[in-house]
Amino acid sequence: MEKTFTPEICQDKPEVPAQGDRPAQPAEPARYTGTVTVRMPTYDERLSISEETGIGGDAESQLTNVQVMRVMAKHARARTVKVDVTRKADGFKFESWEQLEYDSDMVSLINEIGAQIVGRYSVGNPSSPS
């Protein structure tokens, strides 16, 4: 099963009203457009990822956050089917995992792909958020 999603970096950020001591934040247009398609793991594959990272286990993970990020990036790389993200500023198109890896602005997208892999997923309508 494949899932295509619009990454957070490709979504406009709405205005956030002031709350208490925190000032209001203006709306911010997305700096990128596009989608990413990933191959979702089976139940057994999901369990294997959980074992490897300690995510979802009863005990605290013995891995540091950076170690978990590296493990998830490895799985994200193996499961990324298609990258179609364009930087609005100059029209540069990210069309491969390798391009994502070399651009420091794509760290959040790589982490998001990993989160999509272990996140909730509905087979009935895979493109809708669960």
pLDDT along the chain (130 residues), means of 10: 94 92 93 96 87 69 81 92 97 96 94 86 58
d(CA 15, CA 121): 29
The model carries a pTM of 0.80
* pLDDT the model gives residue 130: 44
Q: What are phi and psi of 102, to 5 degrees?
A: -90, -5
* pLDDT the model gives residue 49: 85
